[in-house]
Chains A and B, each alone.
Chain A
Amino acid sequence: MKEFEDELRSALRRQEPRSGFADRVLARTRSNGAPRRAGWVAAAIAAGLLLSMGGFEYRQYEGRKAKRELLLALEIAGSKLSIAQEKISHLSQRTIHE
């Protein structure tokens, strides 16, 4: 049994791959790394675009909000003005009758 196991060990001795194996592995790690770096650049560009789009949207939202507030203020001012106008005309009518 021992002899047979030794024969197996001899048949299954380690062998070296073709020379330059480590260099070929390194070359593959570099080529695989390139798309990863490109991916990061793309992600950074996308994030920048999103931020600038977000900023633009936010500025638009702020503009719309300011416009709404101005219109509301004008509306309020208008209604108050018409009340005041009504009162003035009422008072002037009373003055004419007296």
Chain B
Amino acid sequence: MLTAARTGKVALAEAAGGDDLAFAGIVREHQAMVFSIAYHFLRDRSRAEDLAQDVFLHLHKNMRAIQSPAHLLYWLRKVTGHRCIDEARRQKLRPRVSLTEYLERAPEPSARFAEADPLLAGVLRRLIARLPERSRMIVILRFQEDLEPAEIAGMLDIPLGTVKSNLHRSLALLRGKLERERKGIAR
């Protein structure tokens, strides 16, 4: 563990000094996290990849500001979260349905982990995608990244009470909608 932390610090220092290999290693280590936050939020693989690339490009320009591996994680989640919300708000002004988005509704053969119930997971992801931007990001950071409400509040620059009430309302909403979907399927 100590060695891993030391290696992380060494890689950060090397990347900050302009070592491309070290930077590529950092990208590989965190690409699934950044891409998945964007993908679960936007539900479009190509837009999620573009956004994730932009986040790492921004990181490349700000490597010297990163103080530790923990700070890197915090920075990546924060920047990704804010960029997703901004992108969704911009998207509202120019709505479109891409082919990628359409195809996403089908089961995902490339998913890395086998899910217990792919249909249920798909329904849940679709329901999450319909939540308002901020609530959606709170749910993703809570259940994809397993972050505590206080950490989410710090990351999204909102009060802890807002995160807790938002999470509570979103879960109730999702459960209610899921129940209705299940009943609809059972009929």
Contacts and interface: CB of A to CB of B under 8 A. Distances in A.
Contacts of B117: 7, 10
The contact size tier of chain B is 35 or more
B143 interface: yes
Given A21-B35, A26-B23, A12 B171 contact: no
Interface string A22-33: 111110110010
A17 B143 CA distance: 19
A26 B19 CA distance: 11
Nearest to A22: B27
Contacts of A11: 115, 120-122, 124-125, 128, 143
B125 A16 contact: no
A18 B36 CA distance: 12
Contact of B36 (A10, A15, A21): A15
- Most chain A CB within a 10 A radius of its CB, from B23, B144, B146: B144
A52 B111 CA distance: 63
A12 B144 contact: yes
B73 interface: no
B23 A16 contact: no
A90 interface: no
Contacts of A8: 124, 128, 139, 143, 174
The A contact surface, by secondary structure, is helix
B61 to A, nearest CB: 8
B20 A14 contact: no
Given A8-B124, A21-B35, A29-B57, A14 B144 contact: yes
Contacts of A9: 143-144, 146
A16 to B, nearest CB: 5
A28 B112 contact: no
B121 A10 contact: yes
Given A10-B115, A11-B124, A11-B128, A5 B32 contact: no
Nearest to A33: B60
B116 interface: yes
A7 to B, nearest CB: 6
A62 B111 CA distance: 76
Given A10-B121, A14-B33, 14 more contacts: A8-B128, A8-B139, A11-B124, A11-B128, A14-B36, A14-B144, A15-B108, A16-B32, A17-B52, A18-B49, A21-B52, A25-B56, A26-B20, A26-B27
Interface of B: 20, 23-24, 27-28, 31-33, 35-36, 39-40, 45, 48-49, 52-53, 56-57, 60, 108, 110-113, 115-117, 120-122, 124-125, 128, 139-140, 143-144, 146, 171, 174-175, 178
Interface of A: 4-5, 7-18, 21-26, 28-29, 32
